Structure 1
Amino acid sequence: MVALSIVAATPAQISTISLHAATVTAAQTTAAQTTAAQTTAAQTDQAMPLTVMSADRFAPLFNGNDLSGWVNVNTAPETWSAKNGEIYCTGIPTGVLRTEKSYRNFVLELEWMHESPTGNAGLFIWSDPITAKGQPFTRSVEVQIMLGEEMREGDKLMYTSQGDIFSIHGATMKPDRPHPAGWARCLPSENRTKGAGEWNHYRVTAIDGAVKLAVNGKEVSGAFDVNPREGFICLESEGTPVHFRNIRIQELPAGEPLAPDAKCTQDEGFRSIFTGSLQGWTEQTGLAGHWKVEDWKLTYDGRGETLWSVNKYADFELMIDWRWSGSSHKAKVPVVRKDGTTPVGADGKQETVEIDEFGDSGIYLRGNDKSQVNIWSWPVGSGEVFGYRTDPSQSAEVRAGVTPSENADAPPGKWNRMKIKMQGERLTVVLNGKTVLNNARLPGVPVDGPIALQHHGAPIEFANIYLRELPAPKASE
């Protein structure tokens, strides 16, 4: 075991030290103690080369007054607030608040307090900037912030409220100690969490894909081989009020360049236009109640009318998750060729194919049902622009362009992620990572208008509705 004591020093006295099989723990730090700190290297299961710097190199992640430097990813404006030197979270709806900046190697300290004996929240590190498909949370490693809950299966302890570390929604890691059920989750070595109404101190050391957590001054859990190992830092809202304070970070040298898949996705400027309520959306008078908010999801029973955004948009990129939530029935639908045409049989009738029909919906662009990106069960696949494909006045090129290149729909009941780029009169649709429409032309499309989620009689769920506005295309485009 290597032991090292370091006190606050001037910048000239900062030293760089590599510790093999060691990590840093710290005594609980309060706001009044931020001018000095003492760290102790404690033996751990995995090697973690570490650069240790003086305590005065910590920088605040929260200024104590407002949420400057933070992004409300997918929750309501009132979910997060700054008051009394704290970040306060209502817990409703489920979602995350993240840093504007991404981080790679760092030491992060914060204090948290739950109001209730049973409370749930979390700290995410190395996170993507927006939520994972069909989830209210990001791909990341979660450092659990929970009280009053644990789960056992027989004699196996599955999770605790004492500082578990685990990967979520596509991130990967190996726990420092094997989990009883083989999960990618590190259970803490001992219980150190204080109860409701008491402040707990976390110190998270994250270096080159290894992470260690000290709870109230002692290391209890860790992981290694984490991927991605560069990304944003998030605070989690999950159903109960929680307080955070004294959030500060000390960035450490980056080391060797990372492969692209070891980094989080890039922040492209998407911002949520559905934040856990129907604020910003409008229903037809007298037909309200069919579109309902269920925490982070927007559900529709198929018996109301189309839901419109209040705001108008011209050039934009929209990201939206959706899935069918009703039952299917047998139906015969036309066969659609890749060029957008429908073949006719010897009897002069359109050729059809029988399918399990789950429903029909879509996304209206610029206030116009003709420029609707279809969501449906037809074999041609979602993403088609029916109003243009079936318009005989359009050229063959236009009609082929608005016909999906492939059926990229997820199986019924599974979440889909659709990205719609509308710029000028050009439309690109990416469904579940596959480009099904590529720069298709929509002649005569309005220059702007609201977005709508279409009513077509079928139950459907939407979530994670993000938008970023784009510049108008150049005249030559």
Structure 2
Amino acid sequence: MRIPHSIVAALLFAPLTLAASLHAVIAAPLHDAHVAVAPTNSAPPRALFNGTDLSGWVNVNTAPSTFTVSKDETGAPVIRCSGNPTGILRTADAYENFVLEFDWKHLSEPGNAGLFVWSDPYCAPGVPFSRSIEVQIMLTPDNIDEKGRTMYTGQGDIFSIWGSKMTPDRAHPGGWERCLPSARKTKGAGQWNHYKVTCNNGVITLAINGTEVSGCKDTTPRKGFICLESEGTEIWFKNLMLTELASATPALTADMTCDLARAGLRPMFDGLTLAGWHEGDANGSTPAGEHWSMGGNTVHFDGKGHDLWSDQSYGDFEMQVDWKWTSEHQGKMTRPFIGLDGNTVKNTDGSDKTIEVEERDSGIYLRGNSKSQVNIWTWPCGSGEVYGYRTDASMPAAVRAACAPRVHADAPVGQWNRFRIRMVGEVLNVWLNDKHVLIDATLPGVPKSGPIALQCHGCPIEFTNVMIERLDAQ
């Protein structure tokens, strides 16, 4: 479950008062009478889990050991989630209106997990969770703030996360987009609970063990993927049955739908190790050393050592990379302004226009080639520049100009940035924080295929949500 970062510490350790919790939750009014009625032309129920393997599911950012197929105490098949690392497993297909029923069991208390509905196929920038509505699956005491208000429970809260929107059935005491339950029906550790989650035309309701307890309306988006969440503790899922309902009329607009176009993205890291990567050069095989490490689903680099290369090669692809500078830098240095023509900007006296910056430098090598590097740095032109082509005097002026960022789109130091990199043939497009910074930049002579590297250039940096989709038949 998720709460604003600024109050995490205070809420986690706030005094818990059971009487106040019961009064705040149970005294709440019953569910609003706006629930959308399931249409009569719904499809027959079908299983989302075949009991044998995870066909029909896509790993977004976890390890092979995170979600596995096992058996419960009766021998029935279950999806076992280890809780490590934090992340999500999503359905291969996106759904609009549906009823999802399933059973779940935490093996210990406290227990933390969740069901995400109407989710994007990838995580929000810098975090291991997607834009979606979370239907909480948690076993914890209620959290009571210093004013005696119940802020969250372990009884089936529903809330928006990472850019989704909703209106809770009952106003939250803190003004959050979070519905607290009207009844306490969740069984404890080692016991099976049954969830019935109805998602229909922007309205969501949750029934726990036969009693409706939570809901919301006015949800955005309202078509997307269904996700099971891993968040620190072991949980089992079984009997996942989905009944699709009729689609909205008129059809949903684009802003009401998740990003279906990028559902082909797949993780390049497993969230626990650096498996699939090596340190050194493009053709090497040296395992990553002490300078590159994985922790909290994030790749940490201390600024020393060598480049980190993917073991696999890629031709045409689209890649997503989140990156963030730490507080460390390489000292203050004088760096030039770069114009849209790719050349250094001049002062009126003909001298170079420069500025002093805290030097930070890294990048992403494409197709095994340092010349086709998408720069990550603190130069005034911003990240996304391709230095090897922009500064190559043998290249046509148009090529050099296209390798200079169209706009400075970097977030401040210490905040996450998101690259979207698309390489097709010799043409490179780069988006940074949703700004199109390189537009149809041609890289003459770039290799047709090769591995990808996270560059060592002497400065600490962090990476997460590194995903890729192949666009060729390789």
What's the offset of the Cα at 1:54? 10
Three-state SS of the structure 1 residue aligned to 2:389 is helix
Aligned partner of 1:262 among 253, 256, 273: 256
Greater mean alpha carbon deviation, residues 90-99 or residues 51-60: 51-60
Q: Is the 8 A contact 2:328 2:459 kept in 1?
A: no
Note the 1:20-31 alignment, pairs <5 A: none
Aligned partner of 2:277 among 276, 281, 286: 281
Provide the aligned C-alpha RMSD in A: 2.1
Q: Is the 8 A contact 2:31 2:182 kept in 1?
A: no
Greater mean alpha carbon deviation, residues 272-281 or residues 260-269: 260-269
In terms of Rg, which structure is larger?
A: 1
The alpha-carbon distance between structure 1 residues 394 and 81, as it changes in their structure 2 partners (threshold 3 A), is: same
Q: Is the 8 A contact 1:425 1:445 kept in 2?
A: yes
The alpha-carbon distance between structure 1 residues 194 and 54, as it changes in their structure 2 partners (threshold 3 A), is: farther
For 1:390-420, what per-residue CA distance to the aligned partner results, in whole angstroms no more than 9, with x for missing partners?
A: 1111121111010111111112211111111
1:191 pairs with 2:184: yes
Three-state SS of the structure 1 residue aligned to 2:399 is helix
For 1:353-381, what per-residue CA distance to the aligned partner results, in whole angstroms no more than 9, with x for missing partners?
A: 12243x10000011111110000111101
2:453 aligned residue? 452
1:355 aligned residue? 357
Distance 2:453 2:54 in 1: 31
Q: Is the 8 A contact 1:330 1:356 kept in 2?
A: yes
2:78 aligned residue? 86
Amino acid at match of 2:218: D
1:31 aligned residue? none
Question: Percent of aligned pairs with the same residue?
Answer: 53
2:23 aligned residue? none
What's the offset of the Cα at 1:102? 1.2
1:114 aligned residue? 106
Three-state SS of the structure 1 residue aligned to 2:394 is coil
For 1:295-341, what per-residue CA distance to the aligned partner results, in whole angstroms no more than 9, with x for missing partners?
A: 21111111221111001111111111111112354321012111111
The alpha-carbon distance between structure 1 residues 404 and 55, as it changes in their structure 2 partners (threshold 3 A), is: closer
Greater mean alpha carbon deviation, residues 398-407 or residues 149-158: 149-158
Note the 1:417-456 alignment, pairs <5 A: 417-456=418-457
Distance 1:399 1:52 in 2: 58
For 1:3-52, what per-residue CA distance to the aligned partner results, in whole angstroms no more than 9, with x for missing partners?
A: xxxxxxxxxxxxxxxxxxxxxxxxxxxxxxxxxxxxxxx97314123126
What's the offset of the Cα at 1:471? 2.7
The alpha-carbon distance between structure 1 residues 332 and 143, as it changes in their structure 2 partners (threshold 3 A), is: same
What's the offset of the Cα at 1:56? 9.5
Amino acid at match of 1:437: L
Distance 2:276 2:116 in 1: 29
Distance 1:459 1:71 in 2: 31
Distance 2:191 2:366 in 1: 50
Distance 1:463 1:364 in 2: 16
TM-score (norm 1): 0.87
Three-state SS of the structure 1 residue aligned to 2:388 is helix
2:336 aligned residue? 334
Distance 2:305 2:84 in 1: 26
The alpha-carbon distance between structure 1 residues 430 and 272, as it changes in their structure 2 partners (threshold 3 A), is: same
2:92 aligned residue? 100
1:386 pairs with 2:387: yes
1:125 aligned residue? 117
Q: Is the 8 A contact 2:116 2:134 kept in 1?
A: yes
Q: Is the 8 A contact 1:423 1:472 kept in 2?
A: no
For 1:170-229, what per-residue CA distance to the aligned partner results, in whole angstroms no more than 9, with x for missing partners?
A: 000011011110100001112211111111111111111111111111011111111111
Q: Is the 8 A contact 2:106 2:189 kept in 1?
A: yes
Note the 1:138-217 alignment, pairs <5 A: 138-154=130-146, 155-217=148-210
Total equivalences in the alignment: 431
Unpaired runs of 5+ in structure 1? 1-41
Q: Is the 8 A contact 2:169 2:179 kept in 1?
A: yes
Q: Is the 8 A contact 1:292 1:299 kept in 2?
A: yes
The alpha-carbon distance between structure 1 residues 147 and 472, as it changes in their structure 2 partners (threshold 3 A), is: closer
What's the offset of the Cα at 1:346? 8.0
Distance 2:166 2:399 in 1: 47
Distance 1:215 1:152 in 2: 22
Three-state SS of the structure 1 residue aligned to 2:321 is strand
Q: Is the 8 A contact 2:336 2:380 kept in 1?
A: no
1:63 aligned residue? 50
Distance 1:352 1:63 in 2: 62
Distance 2:326 2:303 in 1: 10
Distance 1:56 1:226 in 2: 23
Amino acid at match of 1:260: A
What's the offset of the Cα at 1:236? 0.3
For 1:123-143, what per-residue CA distance to the aligned partner results, in whole angstroms no more than 9, with x for missing partners?
A: 011111111111111110000
What's the offset of the Cα at 1:109? 0.5
Aligned partner of 1:45 among 22, 32, 38: 32
Unpaired runs of 5+ in structure 2? 1-28, 72-76, 281-285
For 1:216-265, what per-residue CA distance to the aligned partner results, in whole angstroms no more than 9, with x for missing partners?
A: 11011111111111111110011111100010011111131112111111
Distance 2:415 2:464 in 1: 12
What's the offset of the Cα at 1:79? 1.1
Amino acid at match of 2:373: Q
TM-score (norm 2): 0.87
Amino acid at match of 1:198: Q
Distance 1:338 1:469 in 2: 30
Amino acid at match of 2:425: G
